[in-house]
Amino acid sequence: MPDLSESTIRLILAFVVPGFIGMLGYRLFQPNQRLRLKDDWPDALVFGLILFCTAQYFVNPLLPENITLQNSDLAFGAYLLVFPIICAIALNMLLHVLEKRKWILARAPTAWDHVFRRSKSYWVVVHLNDGRRIGGYFSKRSYASSYPEPGHVYLEKLWKVNEDGAFGETVEQSEGLLLRPSDYQMVELFEDR
């Protein structure tokens, strides 16, 4: 077995760790499948290589003359842990701008994510599997799950729905409603005015 020196270990860490941390950071902002180390290591290695080159050409020149990523444990630690998160935030912001300008496709993996990640308030009519309809309000205290588990929703307020589909009176002492995808057939959304 080859003898691993400290510089070899640092080089391996410099390529692998920032890639995984950057990917984890990016996935905090973007609905995505769970990170699987056994499947995602090639992507993490490529992302780590990109981060390493970026740090060498853009970060190293900004450091004081006697400090580099190679000779400072503090700078190296910041590169391993902080730099990938900063890059993930910057990448997410860049992609958001490109998406808004319609230069790239929407990044939301499902229509559910596209609607509920907009942080808007909606009046909601849920068509349950047993034929009943429930009215509700989706706003700041509500929650909708995201990819890869879309379809779960918490509505913070409930209303009875009349036969003609109009909202009736509020459900007394309601603290909301939790719904699983298997509970309903359809969710109607109405603008909150």
**DSSP string covering 123-180:** EEEEEETTS-EEEEEESTT-EE--TTSTT-EEESEEEEE-TTS-EEEEPTT---EEE-
Higher per-residue confidence, 59 vs 145: 145
**What's the pTM?**
0.70
In terms of Cα–Cα distance, which of 115, 113, 183 is closest to 145? Answer: 113
pLDDT of residue 73: 79
179 and 150 assigned to the same domain:
yes
Length of the chain: 193
11: in domain: yes
Residues 96 and 117 grouped into a single domain: no
60, 80, 100: which is the final residue of a domain? 100
Residue 52: give the domain boundaries. 6-100
Tell me, yes or no, whether 106 lies in a domain. Answer: no
Looking at the structure, tell me whether residues 89 and 16 fall in a common domain. yes
Q: Please indicate, yes or no, whether residues 12 and 81 belong to a single structural domain of this protein.
A: yes
Q: Which of 2-11, 23-32, 60-69, 83-92 has the highest mean pLDDT?
A: 83-92
* Residues whose CB falls within 8 Å of the CB of residue 76, separated by 6 or more in sequence, listed in order: 10, 14, 69, 70
**Does residue 1 form part of some domain?**
no
Helix (H) or strand (E) holding 191: strand 184-191
Placement of tokens 């909301």 in the chain: 176
Please compute the mean of the pLDDT values over residues 136-165 and round it to a whole number.
90
Question: Same structural domain for residues 95 and 117?
Answer: no
Contact 131, 162 (CB under 8 A): no
User: Where among 100, 123, 157 does a domain terminate?
Assistant: 100
Q: Are residues 135 and 184 in the same domain?
A: yes
Higher pLDDT, 186 or 65: 186
The pair of structure tokens assigned to 128 is 């349950």
